[in-house]
Structure 1
């Protein structure tokens, strides 16, 4: 008589919709910020830029990329711990090279800007994020052996902003954004359950409200040129700010603290279960990379034909900016992803390439 032995069921890891929802919020914030910037830079508002538009734009710039870097660090833990540099090449470096190259031709095609000094060491608009994440994932497996790496990275990030401009300006953020990435990496083993508690959710909503109100009431203290963390002190004073070095140091420290805090606040406002927008979070890379082309095309039309002047009222401006939400859904749709996979996720296998070369 045969024994009725039950085979153990394979357990599939349940998807973390909490972080999908958080990434959905973040990528939509990115798109809204860039669309807002379009209007602020290129639209001639008869009574000046609408206060709500400036507030939205600056508020998003306070936290959106710091939080995105933290989330990226959290999800890079496995690759970093395994020192999986081959995956970094396949999944990040190659897509960066492809995107940078295609972007160069798109710049030329649209007449957006001259590419006579094109270089892979000077990332074009928005492309810096891809190569920055790649570099972090390549260096962190070795640097993590240092005691106090997070503190060291934070000190370097601050000190470099008081020096001379870093050659190849797009790489300034390699230094200034590394603490955000490390915070994500170091918190990747924690469940952060406190962010789900009712009191913290209320606190998170209040934090976002406080941020928007602060920017609304004190816009002169929030300059996007400084919030991007890509300029040194000498390049900001007199043009963006008239601050002493001590005041700039205090501003920088506060900016880092706010960036760190809003990672937790973003989780605090994010649903933990699957929603209609969870899908957006799973496709944030497609949305990020593809929306850059929409922004460049729109700005090229603005430069040549004053296209964005048609959005010179509050209602029209709001329609343009918040069209970014359906745009995000469109760019994440299966047909678009299928058509643009060659650009966002090009097929490349370094192991196979090396094997083929050595065999030949």
Structure 2
């Protein structure tokens, strides 16, 4: 595996040629993450910022989960795969959580060290670990996608399932992960790779979907602000916590799941299928995802992006700046410097691998 990718919870696989489409999708998705976090403070004072924020959050993490599921295998993990869950997910999580605890102590004076409650972006690392643990079991039951949807809708009715170890959010976006795994099983993306005559039509349809969705957002922006729609896209709170404890609240989440699938399909249709200037950057999404928050944190806490600085000019500037942050953090020099934190190799903590493990076919 070349570089650290955010969307591959089972990195131990036989070496194969990388598909540019997926690396392009990874980078574009993580860039949307950076943009979303970059403009978040501006949403309080700018309807345009809020519209873009809602547009991004409606599908960007579901798309990430779909990619993650696509590259996951449902079989029982090998010894090498199990220890890479530790080195690629668990150890980086505790390293970054410790750093965040120190940063919040120095900046905000907070002393609440609690690794069971992930800081800011770290929730997705734990979600990947949960996905990795349950996929072998989900693959043994009929209609796993249906059960994942039921779990996602049902967890919203439980007030006692919260953000501890990202459990509520992991269950909330589980359908997208399972969908990604099933897409590979169905071979749907393989057919997309050869459907040359349909590419133009599908991309035109995707643009229409995105334009229509943005029109709906802009046309009802005050309604979305009033009902705090953005919190529904987080998938991390119960319906009661969202202020909607009616029996039909699960239907709202179901609708948002369907919406996210449609928007994710449009996103994947628009992603270039050939090697582009951002393809190589798609192999370093873990670095962008985990490090960009430290760049944006001073801006968010300073109040610089509030009030008059939420103008259209500032919004465009933040979008361009966020794209620049994503590009810089995906550079080889950044990977070289931060590799010990993002891709640690604590081999000394492990027992020897079984003799039958063939390391020559287990490349990163």
Shorter-chain TM-score tier? 0.7 to 0.9
* CA offsets 1:226-278 (integer angstroms, 9 cap, x no match): 111111111112xxx6x8432x2332111111122233221100111111111
Counterpart mapping for 1:266-345 below 5 A:
266-302=267-303, 306=304, 311-345=309-343
Partner of 1:252: 253
Partner of 1:231: 237
Q: Work out the CA distance in 2 between the residues paired with 1:178 and 1:316.
A: 35
Partner of 1:50: 46
Q: Tell whether 2:147 aligns with 1:146.
A: no
Partner of 1:114: 110
Q: Work out the CA distance in 2 between the residues paired with 1:223 and 1:177.
A: 17
Q: Tell whether 2:87 aligns with 1:93.
A: no
Please tell me whether the aligned partners of residues 156 and 250 of structure 2 are also in contact (alpha carbons under 8 angstroms).
no
Partner of 1:347: 345
Q: Work out the CA distance in 1 between the residues paired with 2:310 and 2:151.
A: 43
Please tell me whether the aligned partners of residues 162 and 236 of structure 2 are also in contact (alpha carbons under 8 angstroms).
no
Root-mean-square deviation over aligned CA pairs: 2.4
Counterpart mapping for 1:33-44 below 5 A:
33-41=36-44
Q: Work out the CA distance in 1 between the residues paired with 2:182 and 2:76.
A: 11
Q: Which moved more, 1:250-259 or 1:307-316?
A: 307-316
Please tell me whether the aligned partners of residues 126 and 292 of structure 1 are also in contact (alpha carbons under 8 angstroms).
yes
Q: Tell whether 2:15 aligns with 1:20.
A: no
Please tell me whether the aligned partners of residues 24 and 282 of structure 2 are also in contact (alpha carbons under 8 angstroms).
yes
Q: Can you give the 5+ residue segments of structure 2 that lack an aligned partner in the other structure?
A: 1-14, 354-364
Q: Work out the CA distance in 2 between the residues paired with 1:60 and 1:264.
A: 14
CA drift of 1:35 comes to 0.7
Q: Tell whether 2:218 aligns with 1:216.
A: yes
Q: Residues 149 and 256 from structure 1, CA distance in 2 versus in 1: closer, same or farther, beyond 3 angstroms?
A: same
Q: Work out the CA distance in 2 between the residues paired with 1:267 and 1:57.
A: 19
TM superposition outliers: structure 1 runs of 4+ over 3 Å: 78-83, 167-170, 306-310
Q: Work out the CA distance in 1 between the residues paired with 2:261 and 2:306.
A: 35
Q: Work out the CA distance in 2 between the residues paired with 1:254 and 1:168.
A: 22
Q: Can you give the 5+ residue segments of structure 1 that lack an aligned partner in the other structure?
A: 1-11, 42-48
Q: Work out the CA distance in 2 between the residues paired with 1:136 and 1:288.
A: 18
Partner of 1:185: 181
CA drift of 1:191 comes to 4.6
Q: Work out the CA distance in 2 between the residues paired with 1:80 and 1:99.
A: 28
Q: Work out the CA distance in 1 between the residues paired with 2:289 and 2:106.
A: 21
Q: Tell whether 2:74 aligns with 1:74.
A: no
Q: Which has the larger radius of gyration?
A: 1
Counterpart mapping for 1:129-144 below 5 A:
129-144=124-139
Q: Which moved more, 1:69-78 or 1:281-290?
A: 69-78
* CA offsets 1:91-115 (integer angstroms, 9 cap, x no match): 111111111111111221222x724
Match of residue 61, structure 1, among 45, 57, 63? 57
Q: Which moved more, 1:315-324 or 1:60-69?
A: 315-324
Q: Work out the CA distance in 2 between the residues paired with 1:343 and 1:245.
A: 45
Normalising by structure 2, we get a TM-score of 0.83
Normalising by structure 1, we get a TM-score of 0.83
Q: Tell whether 2:127 aligns with 1:127.
A: no
Q: Work out the CA distance in 2 between the residues paired with 1:343 and 1:130.
A: 14
Equivalent pairs, count: 327
Q: Which moved more, 1:325-334 or 1:196-205?
A: 196-205
Q: Residues 172 and 40 from structure 1, CA distance in 2 versus in 1: closer, same or farther, beyond 3 angstroms?
A: same
CA drift of 1:322 comes to 2.3
* CA offsets 1:195-238 (integer angstroms, 9 cap, x no match): 7522212111111111211111122247111111111111112x
1:233 match: secondary structure? coil
